[in-house]
Each structure stands twice: as structure tokens, then as C-alpha cells.
Amino acid sequence: MRPLVHPAIEEVTVEAILHALSDPVRVAIFAEIVGQECTQKCSSFVPVGGEAIPKSTLSQHFRVLREAGLIRGERRGVEMHNVSRYVEVDQMYPGLLAAIGQAHTLQVGRAAKAAKKSGKKTK
């Protein structure tokens, strides 16, 4: 089993954060982890936004978030538990994650409103 990569906070770059959070599934996963006070198992994210996500795809999303420095993962038996590094990242780049989170919330709200108007389901 390969060791998990967790960059030191000094190695976390804005570009890596923006890349990691450029995918709507990763933003949803990160928001969920930030919103919880305890570690989150990867398996609890199999349905993201009401859609089933294959475990292999989820593993890739978690790897990107971990290597960007946004989460810390820990193996516990056969499960991977994840915790947010929001506080550390916010100390390094004050307000960045909050701004991205607010923009994502606005985007999701607008998409839901537009879908409701047209009678379509949102992702």
C-alpha cells in the first residue's frame, strides 16, 4: 500500500487549491468534510449530490483534495477517514476558502432556481 501524501502547509499553493476545487464533486466533498466536526469515511460519499459515484472515482477525488493540502486522510483498517485542513489553509491564505465556498453556494442556488423554473432536476 502506497503512503498517503500530505503536503506541509508551507507547500500548499493557491493553484493546487483552485485546481482541486474546480470540480463540482470535489467541492461538494470538501464542503461536506468542512461541515462535519468528526472525520468522514470515504464510503459515506458514494452518493454525492444524489448521484452514485464509483469508488474508484471517489478515490481519485480524495487524492486530489489530499495532495492539494485541503484534507488529511488516515487509514483505519480498510477504511479511509478524512478531516478538513480548513483552519490551516485559512491561516496561510485568509479568506480564500470562504470566498470559494460562498461562490459555490451562489452557483448551486442559481442552478437550482433555473432548474426549478424550467422543471428540470439539478445535479
Separation of alpha carbons 21 and 24, rounded Å: 7
Residue 42 is classified by DSSP as G
Is residue 115 scored above 90 in pLDDT?
no
Check residue 23 and give its pLDDT: 92
Comparison of pLDDT for 18 and 40, the residue scoring more: 18
Give the residue from 82, 81, 65, 74 showing the smallest Cα distance to 12: 65
Over residues 71-99, the pLDDT tens digits come to 999 888 878 889 999 999 999 999 999 99
Q: What is the reported pTM?
A: 0.81
Residues in the chain: 123
